[in-house]
Structure 1
Amino acid sequence: MTKECHDAFCRYIDIHQYRSVLALQGELPDSEFFKATNLPIVASDGAANTLFEMGIKPYVVVGDLDSAKSEYLMDVKITHIPDQNHSDFEKAIAYATEYDLLPTIVVGVAGGCIDHVTNNIGIFVSHCTVFYSPPTFGYVVQPTQTKDFDAPTNTKISIFGIPDAIVSTNGLKWELSQTHLKFPTISSLSNRTALKNFQIKVHTGKALAIVYLI
């Protein structure tokens, strides 16, 4: 199942368009994903332990370093930022921005405490485009953007306004036609693809599409 997810994700996303993977302290893909992408890994403080324990060495560990085990930091680049007014996710994004490691694929968004997950999603949609959280991936469709996806028919997909958007679709079972999506009250939840190629057009605002890979 895991390899199937990785392969499906790579069919949706051109890995070569991305300059890094940004790892958070949530549920991470297995080591094969990191090996297959072969991109520099910007690890938030909390993700470092999990990465090292699966045999993956990040390019850099960023954060206040209150979670990473000291033995894992002996032979890796670290950027210690003690500022408590910003999360380790925000610090990692700032690092990736400064060192030309954007765009990035974000992993570890989900899993763990619900307040952390909610905060991660909020930061993600403000600064990033793609997250991978097997068996799903998320894609932020920008204002006035039309995004095409190729997927098997009957693939499950949910679309959210972030925080609100006017959205039209083509190729879904329950089409949207300049529909006002407003989080958290109005969303296109558990929709399905009706065609192998489907399209999301955002007229105004931003929309987050979450696609199920299997």
Structure 2
Amino acid sequence: MTALVYCNGAPISDELFSEYRRQSDLLIAADGGAYNVLDHGSLPDVIIGDLDSYTDPGPAGCEVIHDPDQETNDLQKALSYALRRAARRAVVAGAIGDRLDHELNNLSVLLEFSRRFESLWMIDNFGCYFVAEPHQRLQTAAGKVVSLFPLSGRVDGITTSGLQYPLQNEALENGVRNGCLNQASDAAVSITHRSGALLLIVQH
């Protein structure tokens, strides 16, 4: 099962929403993300969160779950719900492009839950964000941006093929060196790393 989770950050385009909605079995609104879903002319299957942003009764036929726990944010609540519903894959919209503190927290949640899903992506109108597997292969197009960030602070043993600026058993480290704004030189891209958590940002 695939879940589409919509947060309360910057909305994606109607076209992108329609594409991912067609591929999903379950549409979860994380608190105020319900307003984003409604703005697309759609209805979420469930709204979950501490409900400090979504204050309406909820559309007819939509389950509303109030979870006041302040030790978890609304995205964590939504992803935990998706797992309880047996979703093995999830795509998250609206988690990027709002407040920097929210974005950084959501990237931490991405790292936390990437270990619990078969695949977990965040998307915005630019591209998709995900934690790389140790041996990651991508199908993209030449010229598309592929950025690499050491989400764990440092990532060692990075080797790439199919990128304009290749890495050969090299390290990326926050405050020292990152791999921002690399580009695909081929439709097939391979990225491997030995240790650490590597965030990939791939242009649509």
Question: What amino acid is aligned across from residue 135 of structure 1 in structure 2?
Answer: F
Residue pairs, 1:132-143, within 5 angstroms: 132-142=123-133
CA distance in 1, matches of 2:169, 2:8: 36
Identical-residue share of aligned pairs (%): 23
TM-score by length of 2: 0.87
Partners of 2:155 and 2:171 within 8 A in 1? yes
Q: Which residue of 2 aligns with 1:5?
A: none
- On the 8 A contact 2:4/2:21 being kept in 1, the answer is no
Q: Please tell me whether the aligned partners of residues 49 and 69 of structure 1 are also in contact (alpha carbons under 8 angstroms).
A: no
Report deviation, 1:127.
0.9
Q: Kindly provide the CA deviation profile for residues 183-212 of structure 1, in whole angstroms up to 9, marking residues without a partner as x.
A: 354211111112221101121122111011
Deviations 1:125-152 (A, max 9, x none): 221331111121112113xx21111222
Distance 2:198 2:44 in 1: 31
Q: 1:2-22: per-residue Cα shift (whole Å, max 9, x none)?
A: xxxxxxxxxxxxxxxx51111
TM-score (norm 1): 0.83
Match of 1:165 in 2: 155
Deviation at 1:84, TM superposition (A): 1.5
Runs of 4+ in 1 over 6 A off after TM superposition: none
Deviation at 1:59, TM superposition (A): 1.3
SS in structure 1 opposite 2:35?
helix
User: Which structure 2 residues correspond to residues 96-115 of structure 1 after superposition, within 5 A?
Assistant: 96-115=82-101
Q: CA deviation at 1:173?
A: 1.2
The correspondence of residues 21-36 of structure 1 with structure 2, limited to 5 A, is 21-29=4-12, 30=14, 31-36=17-22
The two structures, once aligned, show a CA RMSD in angstroms of 1.8
- Equivalent in the alignment of 1:87: 73
Does 1:49 pair with 2:35?
A: yes
Report the counterpart of residue 126 of structure 1 in structure 2: 112
Residue identity matched to 1:27? A
* Residue 166 of structure 2 is aligned to residue 175 of structure 1: yes
Can you give the 5+ residue segments of structure 2 that lack an aligned partner in the other structure? Answer: 115-119
Point out where structure 1 has 5 or more consecutive residues left out of the alignment: 1-17
Q: Which amino acid aligns with 1:199?
A: S
> Which of 160, 177, 190 does residue 186 from structure 1 map onto?
177
Which is helix-richer, 1 or 2? 1
Task: Report the number of matched residues.
Answer: 194
Report the CA distance between 1:37 and its aligned residue.
Answer: 2.3
Task: State the Cα distance separating 1:36 from its structure 2 match.
Answer: 2.7
Q: Which residue identity does 1:191 align to in structure 2?
A: N
